[in-house]
A and B are shown apart, each in its own frame.
Chain A
């Protein structure tokens, strides 16, 4: 993988991780077009994707730095220190519990389906193209039926678990982690911006855990060239990811997600058409 290819993949990851358009779909399509995915070693590509996600994780940590400090401080003081009852907890401590409870579904399902996730299914463009379209339709239904009333303080544990369950649907390649969680949030009645904000906070444990796990397991596949490419792609994904988060949160204050829905359907049709005409291989 050349430096330019690494920069391009970093940009793809940073932009597509937070917008509800599927980073896996875009990375896999780009990787196939550049011929950088070794069909004989799919785990190398899975490892590359997981590690450059750490760059986008870093962008969330920087962007939500103050929120995270407040959540951690309140959680450790009230829950760990004072053992305060849930009903008496501050908003920040409750948010800590919401993130924990929302992360349980993906932890259980992610570890249970680890072999499938790391295998060839995650690179199958038929699956990716189809789920891009299917999730777009589900997001469109959520847009049409949602109430857009709840703010961060109104999210319940039940909402968090449901949104967490939606996050575990993102294990299907092409569905998009932010796409499934924003969709879940909308079905739970959250405002669009709140759904996106909670989606980003909820991604921290999942992306951190999967990134570190893959980093540990991918060390055996790494050579100097791949390591250099990973570092470059990770830095680029962090910078572009930060811009994407800031843009999406501002954009969703006044606009719907229909621009992304249309984009998902178009890119899904393009992928399926390229496969059908044998221009690219599955």
Chain B
């Protein structure tokens, strides 16, 4: 009985791995980001004549590897979002730039046919934020802040074959990132109007263009 169970398990594993695929994907795109804490900080302190709107755009790069089984895919996605703001302050230029590193564990349901794949899914993961600020009125050198947090992401994407294994990729993301206040040693990123510090917590929507390579195992 035990032998039969082991044999059955091995056969299932073998049949899964025969049908399995690994997809490797590289994309780039643009995020539409709303971070109220950051927007208030910049609008009150620096963007006096050129107020920022609710959403701003940020560059986004991503690499992902997904393992396919049955009608599902599980994957590791490593994304990076970068943005910068510049304002003339009379004494010089104020600059704030940030970069998010966003690894995600993703789970998808997919529909696959002749020459196409259509997926939708969600993921979750930690967030690593680094912020660089140069304020000509306070300090002349750059200050770097860091913080961490977590985020969730929902994704819908479509890929169409350009050759047997290579697909052109279009995708859309929606997500939420919860982050602490960035700090540099004991110094927090803060302003008189935000004594508790500037939070980078926010919501985003983004579109991606990329390439996907599919390997059948």
B-contact 0/1 string along A25-62, CB 8 Å cutoff: 00000100111000000000000000000000000000
- Bound form: Cα–Cα A34–B118 in Å: 28
Q: Does B115 contact A (CB under 8 A)?
A: yes
- Bound form: Cα–Cα A251–B158 in Å: 9
A-contact 0/1 string along B182-217, CB 8 Å cutoff: 000000000000000000000000010100000000
Does A259 lie within 8 Å of B58, measured CB to CB? Answer: no
Does B53 lie within 8 Å of A34, measured CB to CB? Answer: yes
Contact of A12 among B111, B159, B207 (CB under 8 A): B207
**How far apart are A254's CB and chain B's nearest CB, in angstroms?**
5
Does B207 lie within 8 Å of A11, measured CB to CB? Answer: yes
Does B53 lie within 8 Å of A11, measured CB to CB? Answer: no
Chain B residues contacting A254 (CB-CB under 8 Å) are 113-114
Does B113 lie within 8 Å of A253, measured CB to CB? Answer: yes
Chain B residues contacting A239 (CB-CB under 8 Å) are 209
Q: Size class of A's contact patch?
A: 20 to 34
Chain B residues contacting A5 (CB-CB under 8 Å) are 30, 57
Does B170 lie within 8 Å of A15, measured CB to CB? Answer: yes
**How far apart are B112's CB and chain A's nearest CB, in angstroms?**
10
Chain B residues contacting A236 (CB-CB under 8 Å) are 209
Chain B residues contacting A8 (CB-CB under 8 Å) are 30, 32, 57, 207
Does B57 lie within 8 Å of A4, measured CB to CB? Answer: yes
Number of interface residues of B (CB under 8 A): 26
Query: Is chain A's interface secondary structure helix, strand, loop, or mixed overall?
Result: helix
Does B168 lie within 8 Å of A246, measured CB to CB? Answer: yes
- Bound form: Cα–Cα A33–B29 in Å: 17
**How far apart are A247's CB and chain B's nearest CB, in angstroms?**
4
Does A259 lie within 8 Å of B118, measured CB to CB? Answer: yes
Q: Does A255 contact B (CB under 8 A)?
A: yes
**How far apart are A40's CB and chain B's nearest CB, in angstroms?**
16
Does A35 lie within 8 Å of B53, measured CB to CB? Answer: yes
Question: Which of B58, B161, B169, B209 counts the most A-chain CB atoms under 10 A from its CB?
Answer: B209
10 A–B contact pairs at CB < 8 A?
A: A8-B32, A8-B207, A33-B53, A33-B54, A34-B55, A240-B170, A243-B209, A250-B113, A250-B161, A251-B113
Chain B residues contacting A246 (CB-CB under 8 Å) are 160, 168
Contact of B160 among A15, A33, A243 (CB under 8 A): A243
Question: Which of B56, B58, B159, B207 counts the most A-chain CB atoms under 10 A from its CB?
Answer: B207
Q: Which residues 108-127 in B have Cβ within 8 Å of A in the complex?
A: 111, 113-116, 118
Q: Does B59 contact A (CB under 8 A)?
A: yes
- Bound form: Cα–Cα A240–B208 in Å: 9
